[in-house]
A and B are shown apart, each in its own frame.
Chain A
Amino acid sequence: MEVLKIATAGSVDDGKSTLIGRLLYDTKSLTDDKLEAIERTSKQKGYDYLDFSLATDGLVAEREQGITIDVAHIYFSTAKKSYIIADTPGHVEYTRNMVTGASTSQAAIILIDARKGVIEQTNRHFFINNLLRVKEVIVAVNKMDLVDFSEEKYNAIKADFEELMSKRDYADQKITFIPISALKGDNVVEKSKNTPWYNGETILEHLESLDLAAVSNVGTPRFPVQYVVRPKTEEFHDFRGFAGKVYGGELSVGDEVVVLPSMTRSKIKNIYFYDKEYQTAPRRSSVTITLEDEVNVSRGDMLVKAEDLPIIDKQLTATVSWMDSDSLITGGKYVVQHGVNKVLAKVDAIEHKVNPDYSGIEENVSTLQMNDIAKVRLKLNKPIFYDQFKDHRTNGSFIIIDSRTHTTAGVGFIN
């Protein structure tokens, strides 16, 4: 069975949690005890329908306020695929959670309230999913029951959204529009009788039809070394294995590799996964590699194929999404974690701020506040080995850590 990770985005009350609850309910993924709890609580609150959002809104504060304030992960399966949904909050102040949810997803569902249409928040949701290069986006026009399933309303919203699409940076992103009512179940799993004018797929049909190979990000192989395995036992006296995860493409025994940053050349001798040897380590496998030659390799180093070198540099320009309540300041010093490699970084300049609602850029800024997105120039104390984010999602991104509070304060997508 394949796994598809999906991020949801929508404003407060657009019905994200209800949509997820509906997906769980219609795919019979809710167990009896969970269903009973939903029925009981819905009745207590005096609702005359089932409140599916209760299935996902996990924190007390969320249930009190009836909103989602943190990313929740929800799991369900059909006969065809397994799904992980990152239910991300819609508030302006929680944009950072949306970026987080989108960073690990291959598909996104953007919800629009049919009564409100495309609003400023929709621009942001689309902007972020486009910035993070999520390959598949479903635009679900929700609450169609409240606009009498009007085709005109739906088409008008679609036209507004298409205007947004013309401004996007990542043009290959595939976008599918679906008119739904999450509360009543129209076009979520079952085709609706209320939308005879809509011939497309339901949300679940569309998710089921997605080809996973096509929505995954493939690039050139990169092997950041996480950990050096040195058993120091009689049996494995001289064993020096480099443990890590393969990104972008596969690596095979006999491949000529270069160790970065030392630029030493060697060949892959063995590929181990647990106690078995393999010829090839595919993309996203966590393996242990040994080399033909005795080479000095430590955590943070990277093995790459000799013919596919990344960019090796001490400075870079990146689109940064700031996530911390302490602002980013020009001249400020931070820790940059690029994969498993950590270096010190100094903010050289903030070139400009990008308004995530597509209203343009702002120049002459010296600080970034939480939820700001900006093009930032960084100087590093040591070179890192990176690709551009558009070519390599993992090797083209990094996080910024505040060295005083140790918190993850921002994320960067390398230009």
Chain B
Amino acid sequence: MWIAYIKENKTVSTLIEEILKPELLDLEKRPKANALEHEAIYIMREVAAQFEKPVLLFSGGKDSITLVRLAQKAFWPAKIPFPLMHIDTGHNFPETIEFRDKLVEELGVELIVRNVQDSIDQGKVVEETGKYASRNMLQTTTLLDAIEEFKFDACIGGARRDEEKARAKERIFSVRDDFGQWDEKNQRPELFDMLNGEIEMGQNVRVFPISNWTELDVWSYIEKENIEIPSIYFAHKRNIFLRDGLIWSAEDGVVFRADDEVVEERMVRFRTVGDMSCTAAVASYADTIEKVVAEIRESKISERGARIDDKRSEAAMEKRKQQGYF
């Protein structure tokens, strides 16, 4: 570079000027990634401006980690103007919790944790039993109680429309009633960029800034931004067993395992990091972000294909959402 400048016979002052000149904010270079990022930042700012008590729902998964980065960008140089909240099923991967606590400390934001175990202890929900027992459904009660406790009027979540058919119908600002319910047949139209956050007392809004992102978009963004994510997203050796063609973690004792389900060690990684009781692993050797992105690009199975909770029925997600699930 220096040689080029010397050849062009530039003075030292023009040289310094050129080096200090701000670079071009070029949205055309990666048009899709940039369009999605700038749209998400716009949504984050609408939340901060339109609501009195917003919260960002943080699970420690890649989607909510992406939301945190977008929120940082939206309000820089100010701190993120709302707290993060984790609904802890008590069945989280330990790596996720460690990661969460480190991130919160770095950001200097408030973290609220509410536990599904407390809802069980209070007798508000009953733990599922049997082979497919999961705490995924129970989260809804804990979430709704927390929304009421803190009087949150907007909850930012990392749901994406490409994840599942019922989610494809979600608005960016999705109004929920007192009971957290989604009236899917009577949703507010969303036109152009305009987001209507007006609500009645007791109602709240679920906000989905990365609605239009695909799984690959999220991974590419994590790669481009060099965002740190929990280690379980990368290939590692794990004790697993096979059930219904899916790979289950045999560690941590959360998942019930029958005697005839044989444990073996395999190289696996997780594509989503939900509750351990309903998140299956995939066989993978992708141990770097570049390899993960390449693997997703080639993948023939959708992300939620490894979510046991969606396999319950054709309409599993829609039913959960009507009841207030995220």
Contacts and interface: CB of A to CB of B under 8 A. Distances in A.
B168 A56 contact: yes
B38 interface: yes
Contact of A286 (B30, B41, B165): B41
B83 to A, nearest CB: 17
Interface string B214-247: 1000000000000000000000000000000000
B45 A243 contact: yes
B45 A284 contact: no
Given A59-B166, A84-B212, 5 more contacts: A56-B165, A58-B167, A59-B318, A245-B38, A279-B23
Interface of B: 21-28, 30-32, 34-36, 38-39, 41-42, 45-46, 48-49, 72-79, 161-162, 164-169, 184-185, 187-194, 196, 198-200, 211-212, 214, 299-302, 305, 314-315, 318
Contact of A276 (B22, B162, B184, B314): B22
A3 B168 contact: no
Nearest to B39: A286
Among B46, B198, B212, chain A packs the most CB atoms within 10 A around the CB of: B198
A280 B24 contact: yes
A287 B27 CA distance: 12
Contacts of B315: 60, 63
16 contacts: A34-B302, A59-B184, A60-B318, A75-B161, A99-B191, A226-B49, A227-B75, A229-B77, A239-B77, A273-B25, A275-B77, A287-B25, A299-B49, A394-B193, A408-B188, A408-B189
A159 B131 CA distance: 63
Contacts of B77: 229, 231, 233, 235-236, 239, 241, 275
A399 B193 CA distance: 10
Contacts, number: 191
Contacts of B24: 278-280
Contacts of A69: 185
Among A232, A299, A408, chain B packs the most CB atoms within 10 A around the CB of: A408
Contacts of B214: 75
B221 to A, nearest CB: 13
Interface string A375-415: 00000000000000000011001110100001110010000
Given A31-B302, A340-B46, A335 B198 contact: yes
Q: When A and B form their complex, which 3 residue pairs have the shortest distance between CB atoms, in order from nearest? A: A58-B165, A406-B198, A231-B78
Q: Is the interface of A mostly helix, strand, loop or mixed?
A: mixed
Given A99-B191, A229-B78, A337-B194, A284 B21 contact: no
Q: Is the interface of B mostly helix, strand, loop or mixed?
A: loop
A230 interface: yes
Nearest to B213: A75
B32 A3 contact: yes
A96 B186 CA distance: 12
A58 B185 contact: no
A73 B212 contact: yes
A103 B191 CA distance: 6
A82 interface: yes
B191 A276 contact: no
Nearest to B31: A2
Contacts of B72: 274
Nearest to B304: A33
A8 to B, nearest CB: 14
B76 A394 contact: no
Given A230-B78, A275-B77, A337 B185 contact: no
Contacts of A239: 77
Contacts of A288: 76
A232 B81 CA distance: 12
B45 A227 contact: yes
Among A41, A63, A282, chain B packs the most CB atoms within 10 A around the CB of: A282
Contacts of A219: none
B74 A397 contact: no
A71 interface: yes
B169 A411 contact: no
